[in-house]
Chains A and B, each alone.
Chain A
Amino acid sequence: MSDNSGLTLFLDGEEVGFTRGESIFQVSERHQKDIPTLCYDERLEAFGACRLCIVELEGARYPVASCTTKAEPGMRVTSKSGRLEMHRRVLLEMVVSENREVDVNELAGYASQEMTTLVDRYDARTGRFAGGKSGTSRADDPNPFILRDYEQCISCYRCVRVCAEQEGDYAISVMNRGFDTQITTEFGGLLVDSACTFCGQCIQTCPTGALADIKALRAKDVEEPVEKTRSICPYCGVGCAVDIMTKGDRIVGIQPAMDGPANEGALCVKGQFAFDFVHHPDRLKTPFVRNDHGQLVPASWDEALDKAAAGLLAAVNEHGRHSLYAVASGRAPNEAGFLMQKLVRAGLGTSYIDNCSRA
């Protein structure tokens, strides 16, 4: 079973190796075949909805979806042919025919350009297959984070699957059947009344901008280009990697880094949406100390640290070392936590230290 040596198949005529359990799509990806997809998110179980990833398999009457078909020894796979490209184009023309707007602002979300890019690659804005549109938007959902414009939805169910498989929140699901399918919450209600934690995962996997980042879109009319800077979320010790989106010198939004080693594309509501403090007028930019009249006044770090040290020492001298108790921030990484306990144990001489998640 676990012997993976020597497993090969033929991909576009070339013999290539694979590992048991890999899908034909995964093998093809490793060989830069650039097979188009819309319902695929590598973090999720392959679903097989969009059918764009079809490949021809020798011996099979019809093409098969490469995302849901496991590689088998000796398979003969064709990843690109006239027939496949014809189907892919027709599929994309069908998708365009049920959408109102194909161009989406890149601030909408991490994957928001996927559909537009493919439609352009296949030259599929032909106006063919015109007809009814599907999807009812919840423009009235008052939540400040997630735009729910289901008129742009193509029913790839990535949002539902990421919410269930990655987040374990099961806040959203699929309602009705066929052309009437609709992404919904329990009883069609608002996100705030559902199990949603506003982690934003659904936004970031949506390939059409039907789900979009309301906060980032505030800056859609700002002229400057979007720049992305890799960083680490400042909120907790997990250390989720983020790409901070800026226009000029202002942060306009956050996107999870799909290759972040700690989070693999996941974030929580704080890392995803809580960045307004950065440009907030009330934000503290220097330490404050109390003056002789008890008022808080700005001070330098040296002043502030001296004052804190003096206060701590005074307390130890007056009431003994166990009169102090330290609470370390849950946002502190391991290194900071270590330094904190060093300060408390070695510096102040007490073992009264805990973490804010428990204190």
Chain B
Amino acid sequence: MAQTNQQLIAEYASQEAPLLPLLHAFHERDGYLSEEALRATSDGLKIPIAELFGTVTFYHHFAREPGGHLAPRVCTGFICRMNGAEELLESLDGATGMPCSGRCDEPIPVLRGKQTLVGTSADALEPRDTPVPPPSADGVEECVFAHIRDPARKTLEGYRATGGYVALERAVRAMTPEELISVIDDSGLAGRGGAGFPTGRKLRAVLDAEGGPKTVVCNADEGEPGCFKDRALMDHDPHALLEGMALACVATGAERAFIYLRYEYPETDAGLAVAIAETEAAGILGDDAFGSGRRIKIYLRRGAGAYICGEETSLLNSLEGAHPFPRNRPPYPVTHGYEGTPTAVNNVETLSSLPPIVANGAEWYRDLGMGEHAGTKVISLSGDVNRPGNYEVPLGLPLSELIEQWAGGIRNGYAIQAVTMAGLSGGFLAGDDLDVTLDEASIRSKGSFLGAGGIMVFDETRHMIEVAHSAMEFFAEESCGKCFPCRIGTQRLTERLAGDAGPADFTMWLDEVADLNLTMKETSACGLGQAAPLITESLVRYFPEVVRAHVAGRLDDE
């Protein structure tokens, strides 16, 4: 028997961060979000109905028509388009597209309700396990991937058999927050979700912040196109993330933590739920971690389709059930985060790095990097390479070495034309600038950044205007609409790359685009609008002739 509205509301209303799980429950029960369900939610959670309606329409996966929940969604991210996503979309009844859904190392993903299928044609879709990262080249030592290829590692037993939860037990029983944080500080670990903020400093800021309760949030939204590393970590080594979150709780004094997981990872959602239940049953997490009297409670929350919800303050609004516009900063989440409490928001990879760092020491982690660079970074490599996949590289590794030696070089013997950095947010690198090493200093010197570590590779046959157009279209569709430069600018740049609008004169075209780029970059309210123009900026810088031909082509059309 399906639960009634009242039963569902009673079940969720008293929980932490109830709105998203309640909406998902209705979505799954009814196959869509009906007006009746939304009115009941509005009454039950005391959210004004107009506001709730507006918030629901913000997320692209909440269906408002019957049957919408199970209707297929086909990834139309650029890598999947190269693999024929548009044809697949055409051939599936009632299907709609969705932005890059974090499986660029697999055939095209199709999401149906809570199941992901992959394939390249409608009659050959099948469920498939998340690919295990390819073995590291020459046995280079890894941090977060060290045990990931061991199939037993998913289970609590297997995790403990390979040293799991030893660091947490030590931290809970014998370490002060200060000791824990100084190990993390000394390791040189910086955020792996994009912004690269030193992790130890963030945790200390939360520990030192006035007020409480303190909160830890794991950012598992992984919405950046071309990034699929967090899913690999969560699917194959979920306990490492839970242990990392628990360590962050100990370091900050938090008793509650959330995982904010992107909608497109339903299998990961199920796997994490099992892992959390196992650790609570074993007394490792929950109300009495290791019998120490310390409470470490992890809540799992699922997003509903919005790239901006990976931006930490938008994420916090989403968790709280508010409209997911980013917040104005300062104040930062470390003092005013979830429900206004001091909150550490950290990426999956960042948190998963904590257990090995605490277990093996700061020195060990630092030494994993090359030269003066500390530690490792997982790169999600996709596009025209022979072996796409996740690679944990020592920071400082030359990009060319990753592509040529680790990933087997460019497909079909073509030459490389360009790569994207930070998924899409870092724009393109091409020409001589491909001669970088994988670390922030080197990549930032080229006007880009490493960020979350997604790199898409395009060979010489790819049409860079099309690539750039698809990238800008993504930013336009995902712009939250709060601030003017990004809301209008992403739209105008998309139109200019599509050839739909803009001056026909090349100089004037460049002039308009340069002004849009600069004003978006310098005045947008958050990272999305600040990063989007890197696409057009780098396109014009590296491929002026291609751009000239594009603009001239418009003239011919007229």
- Which A residues lie at the B interface, using CB under 8 A? 38, 46-51, 54, 62-63, 65, 68-70, 83, 86-87, 90-91, 94-95, 97-98, 128-132, 134, 154-155, 157, 164, 170-181, 184-188, 194-195
- Nearest chain B CB to A185's CB is how many angstroms away? 6
- In the complex with contacts A65-B525, A95-B488, A130-B501, A177-B480 CB distance below 8 A: yes
25 A-B pairs with CB atoms under 8 Å apart are A48-B328, A48-B482, A49-B484, A51-B524, A62-B522, A62-B523, A62-B530, A65-B328, A90-B516, A90-B518, A94-B484, A94-B488, A97-B492, A155-B481, A164-B48, A170-B49, A173-B48, A174-B58, A174-B323, A174-B481, A176-B58, A177-B480, A178-B479, A184-B53, A185-B50
Query: How many angstroms from the CA of A128 to the CA of B503 in the assembled complex?
Result: 8
Q: Does B126 contact A (CB under 8 A)?
A: no
Contact B481 A129 (CB under 8 A): no
Contact A62 B481 (CB under 8 A): no
By a CB distance below 8 angstroms, the chain B residues around A171 are: 50
Contact A91 B48 (CB under 8 A): no
* Contact among A54, A172, A184 for B523, CB-based, below 8 A: A54
Across the interface, name the chain B residue whose C-beta is closest to A196.
B50
- In the complex with contacts A65-B525, A131-B502, A181-B484 CB distance below 8 A: no
Across the interface, name the chain A residue whose C-beta is closest to B35.
A187
Query: How many angstroms from the CA of A173 to the CA of B47 in the assembled complex?
Result: 12
- Nearest chain B CB to A50's CB is how many angstroms away? 5
- In the complex with contacts A51-B485, A178-B481, A170-B57 CB distance below 8 A: no
Contact B54 A87 (CB under 8 A): no
Query: How many angstroms from the CA of A340 to the CA of B358 in the assembled complex?
Result: 80
Query: How many angstroms from the CA of A157 to the CA of B58 in the assembled complex?
Result: 15
Total count of chain B residues near the partner, CB < 8 A: 46
By a CB distance below 8 angstroms, the chain A residues around B487 are: 155, 178-179, 181
Contact B519 A154 (CB under 8 A): no
By a CB distance below 8 angstroms, the chain A residues around B525 are: 48-49, 51, 65
Contact B481 A180 (CB under 8 A): yes
- Nearest chain A CB to B85's CB is how many angstroms away? 22
Query: How many angstroms from the CA of A254 to the CA of B17 in the assembled complex?
Result: 44
Contact A95 B306 (CB under 8 A): no
Residues B258-303 near A (CB distance < 8 A): none
Apart from the given pairs A94-B519, A175-B54, A184-B57, 14 other A-B contacts in the complex at a CB distance below 8 Å? A49-B483, A50-B483, A83-B522, A87-B519, A94-B484, A132-B495, A154-B484, A155-B481, A164-B51, A173-B50, A176-B58, A178-B491, A184-B50, A186-B49
Contact B306 A177 (CB under 8 A): yes
Query: How many angstroms from the CA of A48 to the CA of B328 in the assembled complex?
Result: 7
By a CB distance below 8 angstroms, the chain B residues around A98 are: 488
Most chain B CB within 10 A, of A48, A83, A176, is at: A48
By a CB distance below 8 angstroms, the chain A residues around B516 are: 90, 94, 129
Contact A91 B519 (CB under 8 A): yes
By a CB distance below 8 angstroms, the chain A residues around B55 are: 173
By a CB distance below 8 angstroms, the chain A residues around B478 are: 177-178
Query: How many angstroms from the CA of A69 to the CA of B331 in the assembled complex?
Result: 9
Contact A128 B512 (CB under 8 A): yes
Q: Does B98 contact A (CB under 8 A)?
A: no
- Nearest chain B CB to A63's CB is how many angstroms away? 6
**How many residue pairs bridge A and B at CB < 8 Å?**
149
Query: How many angstroms from the CA of A94 to the CA of B524 in the assembled complex?
Result: 13
Q: Does B500 contact A (CB under 8 A)?
A: yes
Contact A62 B328 (CB under 8 A): no
- In the complex with contacts A98-B488, A131-B491, A177-B48 CB distance below 8 A: no
By a CB distance below 8 angstroms, the chain B residues around A186 are: 49-50, 53
By a CB distance below 8 angstroms, the chain A residues around B500 are: 131-132
Q: Does B477 contact A (CB under 8 A)?
A: yes
By a CB distance below 8 angstroms, the chain A residues around B524 are: 51
- In the complex with contacts A62-B522, A132-B501, A177-B306, A97-B54 CB distance below 8 A: no
- In the complex with contacts A62-B523, A170-B51, A176-B484 CB distance below 8 A: no
By a CB distance below 8 angstroms, the chain B residues around A176 are: 57-58, 481
By a CB distance below 8 angstroms, the chain B residues around A178 are: 476-481, 487, 490-491
Residues B461-497 near A (CB distance < 8 A): 476-485, 487-492, 495
* Contact among B51, B482, B515, B521 for A173, CB-based, below 8 A: B51
Contact A175 B57 (CB under 8 A): yes
Residues B21-76 near A (CB distance < 8 A): 35, 48-51, 53-55, 57-58
Query: How many angstroms from the CA of A50 to the CA of B519 in the assembled complex?
Result: 12
By a CB distance below 8 angstroms, the chain B residues around A188 are: 53
Across the interface, name the chain A residue whose C-beta is closest to B489.
A94
Across the interface, name the chain A residue whose C-beta is closest to B488.
A94
Across the interface, name the chain B residue whose C-beta is closest to A90.
B519
Contact A179 B488 (CB under 8 A): yes
Most chain B CB within 10 A, of A173, A178, A187, is at: A178
- Nearest chain A CB to B209's CB is how many angstroms away? 16
By a CB distance below 8 angstroms, the chain B residues around A51 are: 483-485, 523-525
Residues B504-521 near A (CB distance < 8 A): 512, 515-516, 518-519, 521
- Nearest chain A CB to B141's CB is how many angstroms away? 36
Query: How many angstroms from the CA of A50 to the CA of B488 in the assembled complex?
Result: 11
Across the interface, name the chain B residue whose C-beta is closest to A83.
B522
Query: How many angstroms from the CA of A227 to the CA of B484 in the assembled complex?
Result: 34
Query: How many angstroms from the CA of A98 to the CA of B502 in the assembled complex?
Result: 13
Across the interface, name the chain A residue whose C-beta is closest to B477.
A178
Across the interface, name the chain A residue whose C-beta is closest to B485.
A51
By a CB distance below 8 angstroms, the chain A residues around B53 are: 173, 175, 184, 186-188
Query: How many angstroms from the CA of A223 to the CA of B430 in the assembled complex?
Result: 63
Query: How many angstroms from the CA of A86 to the CA of B323 in the assembled complex?
Result: 32
Across the interface, name the chain B residue whose C-beta is closest to A51.
B523
Query: How many angstroms from the CA of A95 to the CA of B484 in the assembled complex?
Result: 8
- In the complex with contacts A131-B502, A179-B490, A94-B485 CB distance below 8 A: yes
